[in-house]
Structures are given as C-alpha cells and as structure tokens.
Structure 1
Amino acid sequence: MNLLNRRALAYVGRHPMDFTVQCLQGFRANQGLLLAGAVAYYSLLSILPLLLLVVVALSHVIAEEELLFTVGRYLNWLVPGQSKPIVAEVAQFLEHRDVVGGVLLVSMLFFSSLAFTVLENAMCVIFKHRVAIRRRHFMVSAIMPYCYILSLGAGMLLVTLVAGSLQVLGEESVQLLGRSWSLHGVSGMLLYLLGLAGEVLVLSSIYLVMPVGRLSLSHALIGGVTAALLWEVARRILVWYFSTLSQVSVVYGSMTTAIIIMFSLEIGATLLLFGAQVISEFERVGRGHQQRAPQPMTT
C-alpha cells in the first residue's frame, strides 16, 4: 500500500492537470450528476427524520435550547441560509414528542436510513473495480445506516459539548500590558475550525465505510479534504447568490425553501461523489492504470 501511495503521489505531483481531467472524465463516465441527483433527493427525505431522531435522543442529556442552537449552526453548513425553517420544525416536534408512537418511530428510522442506502449504491458505481472483486453481505448493508446514525448522534453530542465550551471562552478576556483583550474573535475562529474539522472527519468516515472493501485512512482523508474544501467554496457562493442575485422566490413562491434545500443538497452530493471519484482515480494511478480511458456507464 505504501508503494502504491508513493506511485500515485508521484504521478499526481508530476501531472496535476492530467489527474484532474482524469477525475472529471471518470465522474462523467460514471454519470456522477445523475447519481448526485438521486442522493440529493433521498437526502431531502432523510434529513428531517434523522435530525428528529438525533435531537430527541440527545435532548435527554443536553438542554434543548443549546442543542437546537448547535444543530442550527452546523446545519447551516449543509444547507446554507436555510437552517432556520428546519430547526423550527425540529423544535415544534420536540414540543409534542410525547405523542410519538411505535409506528412513527419505525417510519422515522426507515426514512432516515434511505440516504445512506442510496449513497452506498452510488459509491458502488464509482468504486466498481472494488465491487467486481468483492461484494458486501446484504445484512451489513442493512445494518450499516443505523450504525452510522448512532455515530452521528455521538458526534453531535461531542460537538455540542465542545461548542458550548468555546462559546463560554468567547465571553472571557485576557489582561495583558494593562489592556483587556476579548476572546470573542478567538472563540469564533475556533468554532469555525471545529466545524471544518468535523466536516472533513464526517466526509472521510463516509469514504472509509461506504465503499466495498477496506479503504486506507490516507485515501479517505484525501477525498474528505478535497470534498470539504470544494464545499466551502460552493457554500460561500451559494450564500452570496441566494442573498443577492437569486429570484427563486419569485418563481417558486411557497416552495422556495424546499427548492433551495434541494439545490444545496444536489451540489453537496455532487462534490461528495466527486471526492469519491478522486479516491478511485488515486487508487487507479497507484496501480499504473492512469493511461486507460474511463469506460462510460451504459444502461
């Protein structure tokens, strides 16, 4: 594996543009935009049930107000500018959580896992060279989404606790040379870095778990950093566009929020799958297959 990594890094270092073009060609050959559309659609169905499950579980440990604030802050990374209506729905559900029955709970579990199932299938297309060698047992595929939901809940608990500590830090000040220096700016920077690090870790964990077979941590981090940096650029562009130039509310009216969330998820899913394509091509060039043109996926 170290030999393959060195070979791949040497090729990418010598031919960065060729590698980029190769990734784009592979993504196009795998119908990446079509796969991203499917992932985005099912993510739209799963995002609210998933949040409800996580928030209801964590509300027994963390104060609801603090939990909702943290959810809104980091949900804004996923759907820029549209976290408020989602958090409002979650808060309204919390007020009536006593009426949740077994049927509703099972339905929420089912819908919250749909995005992970579709994402796994999309990863199988991009990493088809792995699927051709080894297939995953169907029971593993059935259980994996729920294990991932538990992991996300644990991650949300940790992030909420750390974010609360950083917010308290922002209210403090340091006395130096007779002057008082507020730590508010430091706290804000640390919260941003916490969100960015969490984003990289979540994306890397997806690349580490979803593809068939064992993927090295270094490869997963390559995809995670690539997708996270691209999403950071796209997220800022989306915030600027929807706040200045967009006329989507004129066209879609009451459906504006759903359309914007769907559009954001579409771009996010595209970058997520492109990160997977980068890992796939990195594996291929490590094995000396960089000259082979990608074969288009046919129907």
Structure 2
Amino acid sequence: MTHYFSALPRLIPRLARFVWRVLKAFLRNRGILLAGGVGYNVLLSIVPLFALLCVLLTHVANEQHLLDVLSLQANHLTPTHASILLDAVQTLLESRDAIGLIGLPVLLIFSSFAFRMLEDCMAIIFHHPDHAAKRSVWVSVLLPYAFILVLGTGLLALTLLVSTIDALNDAMLAIFGTNLPLASLSEPALNLISFLGMFAMFSAIYKVLPVVHIALRRALVGGFVAALLWEGVRQLLVVYFASLSLVNVVYGSLATIIIVLLTLEVGAIILLLGAQVIAELEHNDRSGLPWYVDPRKRAINSSR
C-alpha cells in the first residue's frame, strides 16, 4: 500500500499528460464532428434496426415480452425519450404486412448505416499503418450485418429468458399460490444484463471495427470503461433534461428529436474517446514506448 501511495506523485502528472494527449488527438481527428455523424446515423438506424429485429423475432418469441425487453434497451440508449422510438417501432410492427419481402432489405440497409459510419470513424482514429494488412471489401460490406445478427441473437436470448421466468412464475402461482422469488428481481437483473450487453457491444466495436489489430484485453478494458462512463452520463442526462434543460423553450416542437440526437451524440463522443485512448496506447506499443511517453514528442526530439 505504501508503494502505491509513493507512486502517486509520479502517476498523476503522467496520467494528466496522457489525458491531454488523448484530447488533443481526438480534436485533431475531428472527434466532435465524427461523433455528430455517428449520432445522426444511429438515429437513422435505430428505428429500422429495432423494427427489423422485432419483425423477425416475433416468429419465435412473445411479442409483448420482446417489446418489454426492447423498451429497456431503448432506455439505455435514449433514457429521456425512449417511448418515442418504441412508438415508431410499434407503428412499423402494425404495418408488418405492408413491409413485405421488398421492405425487409430496405430496413436491413438502413439498419447498417450506424455500423458503417462507426467503421469509417475507427479508420480515422486508428490511423492505418502502411505495413498493416488491408481489410477485404467483402468483410467491410458484411461486418455491419454480422453486428446486427449478434444483436438479434442477444435480444432473442434476453426475451426468451424473460418469457421463461414469467412462465415459471405463472406455474408457481397456479400450483403454490405464491410468486417466484426470482420474479421480483427481474427488472434489476435485466438492467444488469443490459449494461453487460452495452459493455460487450463496445468491446466488440473496439476489437473488430479497427483495421489494425487490437488486443482483446485492451478492447475489454476500453469497453467496460466506456459502458460505465455512459451509464453515469446517462443518469446525469435524465436529471438535466428533466429539470434543467432549456431545449423545450428553444426548440419547441422539435425539442424531442433534438434531445434524442444530443443524447446519441454524447454516447458517440464517449465511444470514440474510448477508441482514441486505445489508439494512443497502441501507438505507444508499436513505438516500443511506455504508455505515458508521447511518441510524437520523442520523434521530434530525436530528429533534432
């Protein structure tokens, strides 16, 4: 313990310099602009993505349970106006017969916009070294749909879990006249599972989307920190937009869409900042330098 305390005077300045280097690199890569593009594309993709998954999964899962799980996921993405997204999804579900075979590919294409934008952002943040292997065009084309497939699988598993718990609870109530103890924990458990799902999604984005090789350990740490940071910011946004925000006064009837877009952009900033941290650490690894040393300054000093 004494060793850790004695290291603090050196660690804090190094950490401060590293954070400053990450912020400078993030701004140099136009990170705020990229986050705006990601937020906009997520807004374009989220309704068709949820609708597509619902249309496909209602064939094998209870629709009401699916919508309940989807409501929880929407609350994690847009905590203040998740109902707006769900209303749009339900409207599409009511028109599922009109979607038909032609509408499904359209929904699939729109659902992939956010992942394609994220891949482009990762290419900017993780500067592609000349010696690194290039990604196949087909991999880039199919990668967003692989993410959609994984999201659909996770959503199906979570819905089946909720359906199983409800069925067991109904059986317990019919036989013994009492509720299943696990049923009272279902909502906190679902919140925890949703957080773990966010952590897994962030980690997968950090691991898979960059063209350069990212160590699994680093992707997992980055994904956990980004998910934890988003959870904290999400709670602050709920308080801010509920009691302090002037968005309703400024934008009037457009306030809802502005709030949703701002929320998604804040989430995108967190996601891309995490990617920038990993990119700086990877840069140090390739240069053979400790994490707290700026390779750019070292290169400038060496050239003198």
Question: Same fold by TM-score, threshold 0.5 exceeded?
Answer: yes
**Aligned residue in 2 for 1:279:** 278
User: Which residue of structure 1 aligns with residue 49 of structure 2?
Assistant: 50
Instruction: Quote the residue 1:211 is aligned against.
Output: 210
- Tell me what 2:157 maps to: 158
- In structure 2, what residue type is equivalent to 1:119? L
Q: Deviations over 1:17-56 (max 9, x none)?
A: 3322222222122111111111111111111111111111
Q: Secondary structure at the match of 2:295?
A: coil
| Alignment CA distance shift 1:67-1:104 (3 Å) | same
Give the Cα separation in 2 of the matches to 1:12 and 1:218: 22
The offset of 1:77, in angstroms, is 0.5
Shift, 1:151, TM fit = 1.1
Tell me the SS of whatever aligns to 1:99: helix
One-letter amino acid of the counterpart of residue 281, structure 1: E
State the Cα RMSD in Å: 2.8
Q: Which residue of 2 aligns with 1:229?
A: 228
Q: Secondary structure at the match of 1:101?
A: helix
Give the equivalent residue in structure 1 for 2:200.
Answer: 201
- In the alignment, structure 1 segments of 5+ residues that lack a partner are 1-10, 174-179
CA-CA distance at 1:133 after TM superposition: 2.5
Matched, 1:291 2:290: no
Deviation string 1:227-261 (CA, Å, 9 cap, x unpaired) is: 11111111011000111111222222222221111
Q: Which protein is bigger by CA-based radius of gyration?
A: 2
Alignment of 1:96 onto 2:95 = yes
SS state at 1:134 partner: coil
Alignment CA distance shift 1:182-1:138 (3 Å): closer
After superposition, the C-alpha distances for 1:40-76 in whole angstroms (9 at most, x for unaligned) are 1111111111111111111111111111111011111
Q: Does 1:135 align with 2:138?
A: no
- Displacement, 1:164? 4.5
How many correspondences in the alignment? 279
- Calculate the TM-score normalised by the size of structure 2: 0.83
Cα deviation, residue 187, structure 1:
3.9
Secondary structure in 2 aligned to 1:128?
A: coil
Say whether the 8 Å CA contact 1:130–1:212 is kept in structure 2. no
The answer to whether the Cα contact below 8 Å between 2:48 and 2:108 also exists between their aligned partners in 1 is: yes
Summarize the alignment of residues 1-299 of structure 1 with structure 2, pairs less than 5 Å apart: 15-130=14-129, 133-164=132-163, 186-286=185-285, 287-288=288-289, 290-293=293-296
Q: Which residue identity lines up with residue 238 of structure 2 in the other structure? A: V
Change (3 A) 1:132 1:244: farther
Residue 155 of structure 1 and its aligned partner are, at CA, apart by 1.1
Query: Structure 1 residues 245 and 105 mapped into 2: Cα distance closer, same or farther (>3 Å)?
Result: same
- Distance, in Å, in 1 between the alignment partners of 2:130 and 2:40 is 24
CA–CA distance in structure 2, aligned partners of residues 226 and 40 of structure 1: 20
Aligned partners of 2:168 and 2:180 also within 8 Å:
no
Secondary structure of the corresponding residue to residue 253 of structure 1: helix
3-state DSSP of counterpart to 1:267: helix
**Would the aligned equivalents of 1:40 and 1:269 in 2 still touch at CA under 8 Å?**
yes
Structure with the larger helix share: 2
Matches of 2:33 and 2:102, distance apart in 1: 33
The structural deviation recorded for 1:186 is 4.2
- SS of residue in 1 equivalent to 2:112: helix
Instruction: Supply the distance in 2 between the matched residues of 1:25 and 1:214 (Cα, whole angstroms).
Output: 23
TM-score, normalized by length of structure 1? 0.84
**Deviations 1:123-153 (Å, cap 9, x if unpaired)?**
0011114476332121211111111111110
- Offset at residue 191 of structure 1 (A): 2.4
CA change 1:134–1:196 in 2 (3 A) is: same
Query: Quick one: which amino acid aligns to residue 64 of structure 1?
Result: E
Q: Counterpart of 1:267 in structure 2: which amino acid?
A: V
| Counterpart secondary structure, 1:15 | helix
Change (3 A) 1:271 1:98: same
Cα separation, partners in 2 of 1:170 and 1:27, compared to 1, 3 Å: farther
**Given the superposition, is the C-alpha separation of residues 187 and 281 from structure 1 closer, same or farther in structure 2, using an over 3 Å criterion?**
same
Deviations 1:192-246 (A, max 9, x none): 2212111101110111110114322101112101211111111011000111111
Select the structure with the greater relative contact order (CA < 8 A; seq sep ≥ 6).
1
| Counterpart residue identity of residue 28, structure 2 | A
More off after superposition, 84-93 vs 245-254: 245-254
Percent identity for Structure 1 against Structure 2: 40
